[in-house]
Amino acid sequence: MTERTVHLPVAAQSSLDDFVELGKRAEALGYDTAWLPETWGRDAVTILATLATETNDIGLGTSILPVYSRSAALLGQTAATLQEASDGRFRLGLGPSGPAVVENWHGVDFGNPLKRTREYTEVVQQVLSGEEVDYDGDVVDVSGFRLRCDPPDPVPGVDVAAMGPKATELAGRFADGWHALMFTEDGFEERYADLRRGAELGGRDPDDLRVSLVVQCCALDDGDRARELAAQHVAFYIGGMGTYYRDALARQGFEETAHAVHDAWQDRDREWATELVADELVDELAAVGTPEEARDRLADFAALDGVDDVSIGTPRGADRPEVVETLEHLAPE
C-alpha cells in the first residue's frame, strides 16, 4: 500500500513552534512521515531534532540536505544523531540543490554535482556503518574518521533527490531511495526506468529502493483559490530557482512553456508567468482544486508503478489555515 507523507512547508511558518505544531498535526492525522527540505531560513536539522522530541510515531526525514553546505562526514554524524534523537524514525535525503542556492547563497562553486552526490552518499553510508572511513575520491577525501559513539541501529536510509536521468540513475546505483519532485505521470515513469537501470548496474534489486514522489497539493473548498496558489508555486520554481526545474519540465515535453515561464519570471512579469502555468501545467503536475478533485488526482500519482509514498507538498503562497485544510482533506483514510 502506498504511504501518505507530508512535505513540511518551509515558506508558511512564522516560528519553530509552527513547524512543531504542523508535525504533531500530521502525526495525529495518520501521515507516515514528515519530510523537510533545507532551503533558506531555518535549518532543517534543528527543526527535525525538535520534532523528534515532540512526536512519538511519525517518521522524520530530510527531503534534501545540500551536499555543498556541509562536509560528508558531518552529514553522516548528523544522520546518526537524528536517528538517535528520533528513536529510529529518521531517514536522510540529500542532493546537489542548484547553482542559484549553492553559488549565490553559500559561495561554493557548483562543480561536479553528480560526482559529489555519489561520493557523499558513499561516505555517509560508511560513516553510518560505524567502521573507520578512509575514502579517496575525486571530490571527497576522508582519512581515519570513525564515529565516537555507537553506530545507529537501525541504520537510517540514505536517499538522493533527483530530477534528471543521470542523477536518477545514480540514486538507483548508490542510494537507498529516490526523492522525485515536479513530475508529470509520464515524466515520472520515464525517470523511474532510469532508477531501475541504475539499480541493475549496481547489482541491486530495484524493488528494495524506496521511492518518494512529492506532489504539489492544495485542497480547498475554494477550488479556484487552490489552483491559483499551485500555479504561483510552479511558476516560482520554474522562473526563480535557476534552470533545474525549467530543464526538468522541458525533458517532459513542455519545453516551450517552461522557457516562456522562465523568461517571463526573469522579466518580472510574474502574473503572465503564472497564467502560463495555469493554462498548461497545473493539471499535469499537481493535485489541486476542491477536496474531491485533489483526492482523485492524488490517487493517480499514488497508483504509479514504483511509488512507495506520495508526499503532500503545499504551495509556498498558502497561508497556515490553507496548509492545515489541505492536510486534513488529504489525510490517510
For the chain, which residues make up each domain, given as ranges? 3-222+287-329
What is the percent of the chain where pLDDT is above 70?
Answer: 99
Give the mean pLDDT of the chain: 94
| Residue 242 region by backbone torsions, left for phi larger than 0, else alpha for psi between -120 and 50, else beta | left
Find the length of the chain.
Answer: 333
CA quadruple 179, 181, 184, 190: dihedral sign: negative
Q: In this structure, are residues 172 and 204 in contact, taking their beta carbons and an 8 Å threshold?
A: yes
Identify the band that residue 265 occupies on the pLDDT scale cut at 50, 70 and 90.
very high
**C-alpha cell read off for 208:** 528494495
What is the percent of the chain where pLDDT is above 90?
Answer: 86
pTM of the predicted model as reported, rounded to 2 decimal places: 0.93
Q: Is the pLDDT of residue 242 over 80?
A: no
Indicate the residue type of 267.
D
Q: How far apart are CA 246 and CA 240, in angstroms?
A: 10
**C-alpha cell read off for 92:** 536522510
Please report where in the chains the cell 538507483 appears, as a residue: 172
Helix (H) or strand (E) holding 44: helix 44-54
Instruction: Return the CATH fold of 3-222+287-329.
Output: TIM Barrel (3.20.20)
Could you report the per-residue pLDDT of 64-78, keeping only the tens digit for each? Answer: 999 999 999 999 999
Q: Is the pLDDT of residue 12 over 70?
A: no
